[in-house]
Amino acid sequence: METRAGDPGAFADFDLSRVDSPAFVVDAAKLRANCRVLADIRDAAEIKMLSALKAFSMWSAAPILGEYLDGVCTSGLWEARLASEFYDGEISTYCAAYKPEDLEEVCRLSDHVIFNSPQQIVRASAILEQARLTGGDFDVGLRINPQVPTGEVPRYDPSSPGSRLGFPIDQLEPEMMEGIDGIHFHNLCEQDFEPLARTWDKVFDAIEPWFGQLKWINMGGGHHITRADYQRDELIAFLRDAKDDTEAEIYLEPGEAVALDAGILVGTILDTGVNEVPFAITDISATCHMPDVIEAPYRPAMLGEVAGGESPVRLGGPSCLAGDVIGDYSLPLPSEAGQRIAFLDQAHYSMVKTNTFNGVPLPGIWLWDSETDVLDQVKSFGYEDFRNRLS
């Protein structure tokens, strides 16, 4: 998988020695810039724009998002709790399957409660009724599966054959839409406008009979709107037409686009060697700190990498997993112990997916404002964080 991000921006001039290692550093100024782009799209198209916490849930930055966006979307009870505690605006919650014991609180916290199938809604009917009797004010939504594969990597494509995400659109029956306030579909991953338009062509025909009934249509995330070459004018025209055609409020819920190119992961080379190829061991672990490097897989961009450089060095983490390899890089500085390095575009997904396999320490979290140069450590992790999640 090829990443289409990796613009160093203000990080090109950031002194990596200012933070501990390993550490995520997020640029508040870049977050504001991304959110302004999203807000401009929202205003021009007259829609609502949410931020997906599954991609970026650094709640110390919540005031920045709240200044520009309409709220957040969450993926279950714990994210809904986080949203209610720190974030402004609406809360839209979707989960592939809710536990009955969680659902009452999800209904209390959320403005939209979105289900993965009609049968889940039927089973939850008593809980939903009780939640409304006790003051819950929420809409019920259904996630559909457009069955339009668009992704480069099947495991990241909700429409891949056999997907469990969303109710297959070719199985939708009229009786299933009774009591449904909104439709949700999420079909993209780091993509441009064309896959959205292609998906909508299929969805439009399937849900057209309920135009006028539906209060809202949520077109999910995966839209790379804040990337410089995204087709924003086409998106605005499309969204305005969709709103007119459906008579429904239109929602987008980007995640990656909120934090695109807004963060780096700083690390240190710990040791070097040669085994057929030069290698270096770093305190950044692909397995523990950037799992998508292995899951996708993809090669993250490096700050200052020498384009077309000779003698690339294979960088890997300190864990015992043989496959804990980040990639081969032409380093901007000599490959030697103590040298600082950084990987670009790591604010989204990497931060939320970190783990402590093998006792590898978690990176600290820093918030930097490239406009004022104010730098604050907002979170550090120690042995107790590793110990306390075990038994």
Per DSSP, the chain holds a count of helices (H) and strands (E) of 13, 17
For residue range 113-137, list pLDDT tens digits in order. Answer: 999 999 999 999 999 999 999 999 9
Confidence of residue 152 (pLDDT cuts 50, 70, 90): confident
Q: Which residues pair with 314 in a beta bridge?
A: 279, 328
Classified as helix, coil or strand, 61 is: helix
Q: Rounded distance, CA 9 to CA 102, Å?
A: 42
Compute and round to an integer the Cα radius of gyration of the chain. Answer: 22
Average pLDDT, rounded, for the chain: 96
Assign domain 9-25+262-387 one CATH number from 3.30.470.10, 2.40.37.10, 3.40.50.720, 3.20.20.140.
2.40.37.10
- DSSP single-letter state for residue 155: G
Domain ranges of the chain: 9-25+262-387, 46-259
Q: What is the pLDDT of residues 20-30, one digit of tens each?
A: 999 999 999 99
Local confidence band at 76 (pLDDT 50, 70, 90 cut-offs) = very high
- Which residue in this structure is represented by tokens 């931060």? 351
- 173-232 pLDDT, tens per residue? 999 999 999 999 999 999 999 999 999 999 999 999 999 999 999 999 999 999 999 999
Q: What are phi and psi of 282, to 5 degrees?
A: -120, 170
Predicted TM-score of the model (pTM): 0.96
Task: Tell me the one-letter amino acid at 239.
Answer: L
Q: What is the mean pLDDT of residues 319-336?
A: 96
Is pLDDT of 60 > 80? yes
**Res 2 pLDDT > 80:** no
Predicted confidence (pLDDT) per residue in 93-108, tens digit: 999 999 999 999 999 9
Under 8 Å CB-to-CB from 362, ≥6 apart: which residues? 288, 289, 354, 356, 381, 385, 386
pLDDT of 288:
98
pLDDT-derived band at 283 (thresholds 50, 70, 90) equals very high
CATH number belonging to domain 46-259: 3.20.20.10
The H or E element that residue 292 is part of is helix 292-295
